[in-house]
Structure 1
Amino acid sequence: MMHADLIDQDDFRDRLVALGLSIPAGASAEQACEYAVSGLDPERAKALRKLVEELLGGNATLLPAVREAISRRLLPALVPR
């Protein structure tokens, strides 16, 4: 039997909270991304980039809502200006 790592919105929120971000319980993936990018500073941006790289490049399966929220909210906010 194979075990796949599945990332749902609660897992995603937990990973953001582990970075020290304040994300309310029950927040959707989209809302969690909005909270994560509010007040974005260079240190937070670096930590978020690393998390996104791990999530998108790892073996875990992201639920569609999480993948879409990352694509729509986090990636544009993390593009260097």
Structure 2
Amino acid sequence: MMIADLIDQDDFRDRLVSLGFELPPGISAEDACQRVATGMCADRARVLRKMIEDLLSGSATLLPAVREAINRDLLPALLTAR
């Protein structure tokens, strides 16, 4: 039996909350990424980049909705954050 480490929308939200982002329970990955991307400051961008790098390079499997939200909303915002 293989047990996989899965990152679903709730896990992803919890990780963002642990970084200091205020997000309501049950928020979708898409809505969470859009909220986080809005008005991102340099300090938060730095911490968020690290978290995203860890998620994308780690052994955990990101559920499709989480991966799509990261690719569509967070990565572009991180590229423009100063």
TM-score under structure 2 length normalisation:
0.93
Deviations 1:27-80 (A, max 9, x none): 100000011112200000001100110111100000000000000000000014
List aligned pairs for 1:27-38, cutoff 5 A.
27-38=27-38
- What percent of counterpart residues are identical? 64
Q: Which residue in 1 is equivalent to 2:17?
A: 17
Paired letter, 1:77: A
Number of equivalences: 81
Structure 2 unaligned spans of 5+: none
C-alpha RMSD of the superposition: 1.1
Q: Which of structure 1's runs of 4+ aligned residues deviate more than 3 A?
A: none
Q: In structure 2, what is the equivalent of residue 77 of structure 1?
A: 77
Q: Which amino acid aligns with 1:75?
A: L
1:2: Cα distance to partner?
Answer: 2.5
Query: Aligned partners of 1:51 and 1:35: how far apart in 2?
Result: 16
Alignment-derived partner of residue 64 in structure 2: 64
Is the 8 Å Cα contact of residues 22 and 35 (structure 1) preserved in structure 2? no
